[in-house]
């Protein structure tokens, strides 16, 4: 977490959290969701405005974390901005490694040391569990993922989006918890 953010937390420790205004889709894109967008429906049905500013994306990703109840948030100074998740808290990007297993990195750039398990949801989307948590494999990286599955390095287990969230302890919609 940025030192500036930690200093703001110390100075203003009781700022109320924000819900519904920020979302992460299954391709690792961040979305701002204003009142009008939220009124049109839940994420991802109503996405909002894609955040394209590189420095803002980087700031969000450096200050991205989770609470004890599995809600993921962006610590924006003293305020937690909870994130609506389309599929999982991480979006994994794969690259061909030196060995047969592809390297795995999060949408935030953080490299993953190990893949613990592999999952396939009811929509045919592939997920990898790592010590950092559960992430969906980016659609552009499915060829490398398929090679790892075909080689027997990752063995997908069937599940559902809801079961994966429960099993891996993340909340897809922190805003829905408030209702």
Asked if pLDDT for residue 179 goes beyond 80, the answer is no
Do residues 33 and 20 lie in contact, with contact meaning Cβ atoms separated by under 8 Å?
yes
CB count, 10 Å around CB of 84?
Answer: 26
Residue span of the structural domain in which 143 resides: 90-168
82, 97: one domain: no
> pLDDT tens, 64-92?
999 999 999 999 989 999 999 999 999 99
Query: pLDDT for 156-176, tens place per residue?
Result: 999 999 999 999 999 999 998
Which pTM value belongs to this model? 0.92
Same domain, 97 and 41: no
- Token pair for residue 81? 């901005």
Question: Are both 148 and 76 inside the same structural domain?
Answer: no
- The string of pLDDT tens digits covering residues 112-170 is 989 999 999 999 999 999 999 999 999 999 999 999 999 999 999 999 999 999 999 99
So what's the pLDDT on residue 161? 96
Residues 44 and 108 reside in one and the same domain: no
3-state secondary structure at position 47: coil
Q: Are residues 116 and 82 in the same domain?
A: no
* pLDDT tier, 2 (very low <50, low <70, confident <90, very high otherwise): confident
Query: Is residue 73 located within the same domain as residue 143?
Result: no
| 65 and 19 in a common domain | yes
CATH number at residue 49: 3.10.540
Pair 81, 143 in one domain: no
Residues 75, 21, single domain; the answer is yes
Q: Where are the beta strands (DSSP E) in the chain?
A: 18-24, 30-32, 49-50, 64-66, 72-76, 79-85, 90-95, 103-106, 117-120, 126-130, 133-137, 156-158
Euclidean distance between CA atoms 163 and 169, whole angstroms: 10
In this prediction, residue 99 has a pLDDT band, given cuts at 50, 70 and 90, of confident
Per-residue confidence (pLDDT) for residue 21, from 0 to 100:
97
Specify the pLDDT at position 100: 75
- Total of domains in the chain: 2
Q: What is the pLDDT of residue 148?
A: 94
- Say if residue 75 is in the same domain as residue 114: no
Q: Are 100 and 81 members of one domain?
A: no
**Same domain membership, residue 16 and residue 49:** yes
pLDDT of residue 6: 85
Q: Residues 33-76: pLDDT tens digits?
A: 999 999 999 999 999 999 999 999 999 999 999 999 999 999 99
Identify the residue with better confidence: 157 or 10: 157
pLDDT surpasses 90 at 105 = yes
pLDDT at 112: 95
């Amino acid at each position: 977490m940025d030192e500036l953010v930690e200093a703001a937390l110390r100075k203003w420790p009781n700022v109320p959290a924000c819900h519904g205004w920020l979302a992460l889709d299954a391709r690792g894109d961040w979305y701002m969701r204003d009142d009008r967008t939220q009124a049109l429906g839940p994420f991802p049905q109503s996405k909002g405005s894609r955040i394209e500013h590189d420095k803002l994306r980087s700031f969000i990703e450096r200050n991205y974390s989770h609470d004890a109840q599995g809600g993921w948030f962006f610590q924006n100074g003293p305020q937690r901005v909870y994130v609506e998740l389309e599929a999982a808290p991480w979006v994994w990007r794969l690259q061909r490694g030196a060995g047969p297993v592809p390297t795995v990195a999060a949408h935030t750039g953080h490299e993953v040391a190990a893949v613990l398990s592999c999952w396939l949801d009811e929509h045919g989307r592939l997920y990898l569990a790592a010590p950092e948590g559960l992430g969906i494999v980016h659609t552009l990286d499915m060829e490398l993922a398929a090679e790892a599955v075909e080689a027997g390095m990752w063995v997908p287990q069937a599940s559902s989006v809801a079961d994966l969230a429960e099993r891996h302890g993340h909340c897809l919609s922190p805003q829905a918890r408030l209702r």
